[in-house]
């Protein structure tokens, strides 16, 4: 059944102290609202910034006491601006869900089973699940009758082609907690691999590096995922802006004993990584600090580069080589120093990057490899486009 690309979807991004509403018509974002917490006279309040498709923005002249109010206000603002009305009703509300357990390795239209499954995965994902639950609950109450869909962050990685989905733990524990290396950034990888096929640049063995505030690497064979760096949660794998990446599990256990499991998970996810090493989670600031010789910045930068290089090398060994490397997400797309540093370690594999290799704006992809090198692509990701495509298919399946 074909999908209707002019459907109107509201995409939620529920943080612990913020709420973003992005309204899409087809794959085009027409308006977004961002509610964030600020301190006013010693009290926490929430303010809203409205951004339109042309880039213009304004702040709503009103303050709110809690994020639950944001949903009602979002509906009012979208209707006032004329984006939602009887002629243009919402077709669905999309809530991204962390890759937690087998159920959430697929997309679903929310029902009572969804809420039951969310409760089950609170144990392994205490940071992400509360925001997801809040988003679903408020969306169902505010936009009555509109389907709410949970969009899995692992669906594009949940394939029989994956060779790294298991943990070497007692079977009864794996079953009790429904553990597996589900992976994450699936919406990004789903979009990128679809784009690679569409552009006609698919190679047999490819490594895609999603480097943003969260970082991961995935190896593809014949266009299907074979290996990915993230695991049961996004904490496994590469160090990123505030995450430790893979560390000795004993450290996690010791932190859990000292701080309690939920607080330990928070420290490893929100207070570690580049921020812990360099005092900043902005790669531009870290690069500037490293160029000035600040030891903390040098250490953070080198550890980051080594982590990505090591993961590419691991997947190259497992796949029997790499024919092309792809960079995507904020750091991957924009940082020439990061790309250059990574690729300087991989010349022995037949890769050589151009000295100055920016992304070509407006192009679907840019090959930044020197002549005679294997391809090194920059491909801008669009996670929302992938989620909307999958949501359209799901909604159409109900018709």
Class for domain 8-157, per CATH?
Answer: alpha beta
- The one catalytic residue in 54, 61, 111, 153 is 153
Class for domain 200-383, per CATH?
Answer: alpha beta
pLDDT for position 4: 46
Domain spans in the chain, listed from the N-terminal domain onward? 8-157, 200-383
pTM: 0.92
Q: What is the mean pLDDT of the segment spanning 71-85? A: 90
Contact 174, 222 (CB under 8 A): no
Contact 359, 347 (CB under 8 A): no
What would the pLDDT profile of 267-310 be if each residue is shown by its tens digit? Answer: 999 999 999 999 999 999 999 999 999 999 999 999 999 999 99
Does this chain's domain 8-157 share its CATH topology with 200-383? yes
Taking the CA of residue 332 as centre, how many other CA atoms within 13 Å lie in the half-sphere pointing to its CB?
A: 28
Whether 282 is a known active-site residue: answer: no
Mean pLDDT of the chain: 92
Q: Work out the pLDDT band at 1, boundaries 50, 70, 90.
A: very low
Residue 218: count of CB within 10 angstroms of its CB: 28
pLDDT for position 121: 84
Residue recorded with tokens 């600090």: 289
Alpha-carbon gap, residue 230 to 310, rounded angstroms: 14
């Amino acid at each position: 059944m074909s999908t209707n690309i002019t459907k109107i979807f509201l995409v939620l991004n529920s943080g612990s102290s913020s709420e973003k509403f992005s309204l899409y018509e087809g794959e085009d974002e027409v308006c977004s609202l961002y509610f964030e917490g600020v301190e006013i006279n010693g009290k926490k309040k929430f303010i809203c910034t409205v951004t339109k498709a042309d880039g213009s923005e304004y702040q709503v002249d009103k303050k709110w006491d809690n994020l639950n109010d944001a949903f009602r206000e979002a509906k009012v603002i979208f209707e006032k601006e004329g984006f939602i009305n009887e002629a243009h009703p919402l077709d669905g509300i999309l809530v991204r869900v962390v890759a937690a357990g087998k159920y959430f390795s697929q997309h679903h239209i929310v029902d009572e089973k969804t809420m039951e499954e969310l409760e089950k995965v609170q144990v392994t994902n205490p940071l992400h699940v509360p925001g997801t639950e809040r988003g679903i609950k408020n969306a169902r109450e505010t936009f009555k009758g509109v389907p709410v869909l949970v969009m899995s962050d692992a669906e594009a990685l949940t394939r029989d082609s994956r060779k790294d989905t298991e943990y070497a733990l007692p079977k009864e524990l794996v079953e009790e907690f429904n553990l597996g290396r589900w992976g994450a950034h699936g919406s990004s990888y789903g979009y990128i691999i679809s784009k690679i096929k569409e552009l006609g640049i698919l190679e047999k063995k490819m490594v895609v590096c999603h480097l943003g505030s969260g970082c991961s690497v995935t190896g593809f064979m014949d266009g299907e995922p074979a290996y990915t760096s993230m695991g049961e949660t996004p904490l496994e794998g590469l160090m990123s802006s505030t995450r430790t990446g893979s560390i000795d599990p004993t450290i996690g256990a010791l932190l859990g004993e000292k701080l309690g499991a939920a607080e330990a998970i928070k420290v490893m996810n929100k207070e570690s990584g580049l921020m812990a090493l360099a005092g900043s989670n902005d790669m531009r600031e870290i690069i500037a600090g490293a160029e000035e010789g600040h030891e903390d910045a040098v250490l953070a930068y080198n550890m980051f580069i080594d982590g990505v290089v090591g993961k590419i090398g691991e997947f190259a060994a497992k796949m029997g080589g790499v024919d092309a490397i792809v960079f995507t997400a904020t750091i991957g797309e924009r940082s020439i120093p990061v790309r250059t540093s990574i690729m300087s370690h991989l010349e022995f594999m037949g890769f050589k990057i151009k000295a100055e290799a920016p992304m070509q704006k407006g192009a679907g992809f840019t090959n930044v490899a020197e002549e005679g090198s294997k391809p090194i692509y920059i491909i801008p990701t669009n996670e929302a486009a992938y989620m909307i495509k999958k949501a359209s298919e799901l909604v159409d399946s109900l018709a």
